[in-house]
Amino acid sequence: MRRKVVVTGVGAVTGYGIGADALWKGLVAGRSAVRPVEWVGWDSAPVQVAAQVPEKLAGGGWRNLRMARLALREALDRSSFP
């Protein structure tokens, strides 16, 4: 079965920052988004590095849901969606 896919907008929340532009600039510059974890209480975790989102995320609720909403908003803003 063959399916067609159309990408109409792009949104990103990554270790480079919020937005597809931040992602692209980081990749083109050849920088790594991985750095030491800065979260309190992380000292005993088996992994001490991660690609954390550098900006503080406004709002309440689950952090991953806030990131998904930011990426969706950017994708819709950059799309041909009315």
pLDDT single digits (tens) 15-73: 999 999 999 999 999 999 999 988 888 888 999 999 989 888 888 889 899 999 999 99
Assigned token pair, 67: 């990131």
> What is the distance between the alpha carbons of residues 59 and 49, in angstroms, rounded to a whole number?
25
Residue ranges in 1-82 assigned as alpha helix (H): 20-29, 63-78
Q: What is the pLDDT of residue 26?
A: 96
Whole-prediction pTM value? 0.77
Residue 81: predicted pLDDT: 65
